[in-house]
Amino acid sequence: MLLKRYRSIYITFLVAFCTQISYSTEKAKSMKVLIDNVFTFAEKQYAPLAEQVYKLEGKVPRSTDANGALVTSDISWWTSGFFPGTLWYIYEYSKDSAMLNYARKFSKRIESEKFTTNNHDVGFMLYCSFGNGYRLTHDTSYPEILVTSSNSLITRYRPKIKSIQSWDKSELYNCPVIIDNMMNLEMLFWASKYTNDSKYKEIAVNHANSTIKNHFRKDFSSYHVIDYDLTDGHIIKKVTNQGCADASAWARGQAWGLYGFTMCYRETKDKRYLAQAKNIANFILNHPNLPTDKIPYWDFNAPKIPNEPRDASSAAIIASALIELSGYVGEQDALTYKNLAEKILRSLASPAYLARFGTNGGFLLMHNVGNMPKKYEIDSALCYSDYYFLEALLRYKAKFCS
Ligand code: GLY
């Protein structure tokens, strides 16, 4: 009798276990199909865009205007590395030689930006382009470009505030440091490993520590801008530049913070960065204003929610970060992060956000917000949205579909 009971419990468990496995396998298979479809589309959509813009000397694709037409930028604009970076990701997926050629050519186009010292964006520009290029090809001419870029970036380090100054002094700010700056640290970690010189990493760590200390609120949302006084290092003000209010949670700012601290944990294994990333993730995933499709409004506190534009770029950055973060935490958190990332990716890959061929200025994702207060790129395409979307899909494939 007892034996019979044990047998029936065992069979119940076995059936539940097998159902779970086959459900997970089905989900992984359907995500693999989704990823394959997006990359096939990306290649088809980006090849003519690359061909078209390469003819415009000194230009790179940036976004779309109010009519959905392509907007290009000069190579000095902060987003210039994302288009070459996206080409590198498409090449990583397809191994197509035409894509490799475009990725090399557009990276080369922005190389002179390695000398940028008048803002912090040199990390975004050069690491997303040449960083990926070096990772994928080991081209021996690329490290010099990345080391020069890192040397440019660290000229902006201010020992008094143990931070890299984001923008130059202006009428608005004395020494502003923005949460976005966390993203530029990845290149500095790379530079220390490549050169064996710890100075880049030390600056990155100091910057990350100051960011934890000064940018975050009790609920682990972050201020966009901290303005410091360089004479004695005190904080003049904590404000926003791209959010709806100084005390609000600008969506992309939260995404940059999540991604930045996840990356800092990868590079240092410092548990404080892991805790920070988990706390930011919890703020995002438990936020009452996160919509059911998990694509945030442009600011979590935007005044007219639900009648506010969404920002697909924040969603893409969050998804990419969560996939990485899921590899550093316990089983339960890992599943939560994976599920949220998957939900975001499914939403982004749906017709609600993914453009049709030949539309959206040649970009992939619709419904992003560049800069609401300055009234540009509202509900437009954005080159960095595509970049982090494809990065997230590649990360998902590598981690969960093999
Ligand atoms: N300032 C960079 C961004 O718009 O996220």
- Does ligand 1 come within 6 angstroms of the Cβ of 240? no
pTM: 0.94
Task: Write down the pLDDT at residue 402.
Answer: 79
Pocket lining: 252 vs ligand 1, CB cutoff 6 Å = yes
Share in percent of the chain as helix, strand, coil (round to 5)? 60, 10, 30
Catalytic residue among 74, 121, 299, 333: 121
Query: What's the pLDDT score for residue 19?
Result: 46
Distances 104 to 132, 133, 360, 384 between C-alpha atoms, Å: 11, 8, 24, 18
Q: How far is the CA of 95 from the centre of ligand 1 (A)?
A: 30
pLDDT at 5: 60
**CA 393, CA 86: separation in Å to the nearest integer?**
12
Ligand 1 contact via 180 beta carbon (within 6 Å): yes
Residue 328 near residue 268, CB atoms below 8 Å:
no
Asked whether 108 and 62 are in contact (CB, 8 A), the reply is no
Residue 299, ligand 1, Cβ within 6 A: no
Task: Give 1-57 pLDDT, tens digit per residue.
Answer: 555 665 665 555 444 444 454 556 677 779 999 999 999 999 999 999 999 999 999
pLDDT at position 28, please? 74
DSSP assignment, residue 246?
T
Q: Quick check: helix, strand or coil at residue 74?
A: strand
Q: State residue 21's pLDDT score.
A: 47
Tell which atom from ligand 1 comes closest to the C-alpha of 242.
4
Residue 180 falls in the annotated catalytic set: yes
> Which stretches of the chain score pLDDT less than 50?
13-19, 21
Of 36, 180, 197, 379, which is the active-site residue? Answer: 180
d(CA 89, CA 390) in angstroms, rounded, equals: 7
In 3D, which of 86, 181, 34, 123 has the Cα closest to residue 382? 86
CA distance 365 to 394: 16
Q: Report how far residue 290's alpha carbon sits from residue 37's, in angstroms, rounded to the nearest whole number.
A: 27
Q: How far is the CA of 180 from the centre of ligand 1 (A)?
A: 6
